[in-house]
Structure 1
Amino acid sequence: MVTKGVLSFLRERGLVAQVTHEDELARLLDTQPVTVYVGFDPTADSLHVGHLRSIMMLVHLQRAGHRPIALVGGGTAMIGDPSGRTEARPILTRETIAYNAQRFKEQLGRFLDFGNGRALLLDNSEWLLELRYIDFLREIGSQFSVNQMLTADAFRTRMERGLSFIEFNYMVLQAYDFLTLYRRYGCRLQAGGDDQWSNILAGIDLIRRLEHDAAYGLTCPLAVTASGQKMGKTAAGAVWLDASKTSPYDFFQYWRSVDDKDVASFLAIYTLLPMDEVRALSELEGKAINRAKKVLAFEVTRLVHGQQAAEEARQAAEALFESQGGMEEALDGAPSTEVALEELSGGIGIVELLVQCGLVPSRSEARRLIAQGGIYLNEVRVADADFLVTADQLRQGRLLLRKGKKSYHQVVARG
């Protein structure tokens, strides 16, 4: 439960990057229920770790008495958001988008209470697919300046490679989403990742122009680690919230193996633990920080997959490591190979690294084991034989390779 100012609480947990009309919004959130929305474009058949920050914003806002709208972008996914991308997104079929949207809805129900209208789950295809083009241009398109749009961060990174006309419409449609939610549900606040800032501002301005009322924007920092690496990318690929794509055990191990420097911020952002407990765990140092990592892994897995799955994942991890004296002891006792840090910085293919360490006799054997799911890097299964191992995967200057259940090898960065 939020006991201090809502905006201050979100900032304390690391969930605020930028905010419009800060003092005004802070007063609004502290004095009356506010309807707030976050959009999720269904470009894949599952949400992933990168979505968790925006989801946690909605979770905390609902716990503070506000009404979240989780907006599945069944309409905007047909265009593709150019924000933060250097290449155009592939155009998906209506059938694929509809299937993905349904999967998103199922997953979002794990985080938010949709009972008795306490939260809404909507799909913008409901209004976007029925638009009359000329009418839309006259009412909505006339409110946008092309010159202003071209200066937005959402488009700037795409200009050199070419920005298609269909992508150019994305900002207008997202702004129209905000306007529609304002008109139908009294939504006054849009939240999302910081890469959505330009799109959010466009919606605020559209509401001001057409409805002569105030609306607000709130963004959270993008999901990156302390080293600047994008979160949710591992040797096994993306870290999905769907248990059939990333098992609860692999999900647990992803959080269990995060860098020491990320533990404090991740506990605040990705769990519902009270901040006093987060601060206490964050003060642990040396080997004791592994206790904080176990709490982090369990709490995030419980939030995403439920109590039983989290317990099973924790028990499986303990059976594997703690029966042998812990991961640290397993690392200390494992054979090791030194690799130049410069070489890791440039990237080494996982197959080449396995052969170089002598963990497998040949490249073909490495590829066979990877295909069979028998190779792990930092206790995350390697799914792609073309995966590139880089310095970003180092944990305290080391990597842990595992073949099968018990064959360990550590890679130590040199120089």
Structure 2
Amino acid sequence: MTTATTTDVTLSAELAGPAPHGSAGVLDAYQRSVMNTFGPPKRVFVRGEGCYVWDADGRRHLDLLAGIAVNALGHAHPTVLAAVTGQISTLGHVSNFFATPAQVALAGRLAGLTGDPDAKVFFTNSGTEANEAAFKITRMTGRTKIISTEGAFHGRSMGALAITHNPKYRAPFEPLPGDVTFVPYGDAEALAAVVDETVAAVVLEPIQGENGVVVPPPGYLARARELCDAAGALLWIDEVQTGMGRTGSWLVHTAQGVTADVVTLAKGLGNGFPVGACLATGRAATLLGPGSHGTTFGGNPVASIAGLAVINVIERDGLLENATAMGEHLVATVEGLGHPLVDHVRGRGLLRGIVLNADVAPAVADLALEAGFVVNAPRPHVLRIAPPLIITAAQLDTFTEALPGFLDTAARTAAA
């Protein structure tokens, strides 16, 4: 795989200035200069290639989290690198008073994913911003009530936080905007009890990633579509984590034959370059007009070309099929361990949750990191696995073979 040249690396080092010595020095500088919103970083990563990253002390790690489902093509992918550097050397930014070919081309590709030839796109820099745009679309219906779900996560800005369920995230910033009702996730009857002619929108994740990779029952999204149609409400599907091939299809809801009024995307779309999108179909596509929303950087040509490169590589290299095959391989090998701490593996494609029988997932994630594997624990009993879509069975097997040792050590420590 092509990597950065020596000249590129040298220039990057010069721009960054004198480097503190090793990870310890960088972490000390981090604590002095960066707001403490994420807690102490677990590692300092300085380089990546394919499915691997290297820390400041030279240790290699298999990246099974991909920046939380972001680096769909892994690190330093040559096609994305060439597209981004080629674009920024030609035209890096113009205001949204103007259009660029890359912006229009990406809009067309994304609109096509919805199944509606008249779909429209608003570009953003992140999933949170995409959800903010979607929130504003719902207000243009003339209604204000939104139905969200328990366990939902849609972002940390005020509007996105209003439809996010976790009380720990919400409480410090209340009162939050909007008239939001939360119902149990995956419960179609609970939805039916609250969706009426006063509801502007129902917002759902097709799989709840931050809640531990929770998959709803079959038919849940289709039932939500029926309820929204009957009430004249919008169906808003948040595919920020699940979209762009992560689960083996471009979008989870369209693979189930469901058309949403509003779809939000980000994460895997840019392979690490900040880009998000709010897609709208039908009447929802016409609700925002001149002056009703805006962005400085959304849809800039560099972000747009990154998105186009990602889509092209996923198609060219058969990565939807690989995501499906590798996800099934992971399930078979992890469940095949027969380990008493592993209950089951859930999810789709390469968004998987290893569900444990004890609340030791954070300890297991730390042990895995120390051994050179990047995973995380979105819930105390769930390990999340979301590697690059280019991952191989041999790479996954190195983690699976090591997992029993991590589980046993975590269990002994918890029992001590």
Same-fold call, TM > 0.5? no
- Larger Rg over CA atoms: 1
Of Structure 1 and Structure 2, the greater helix share is in: 1
TM range (shorter): under 0.3
Higher RCO, 1 vs 2 (CA within 8 Å, ≥6 residues apart): 2
Please report the TM-score for the alignment, with normalisation by the length of structure 2: 0.25
Please report the TM-score for the alignment, with normalisation by the length of structure 1: 0.25
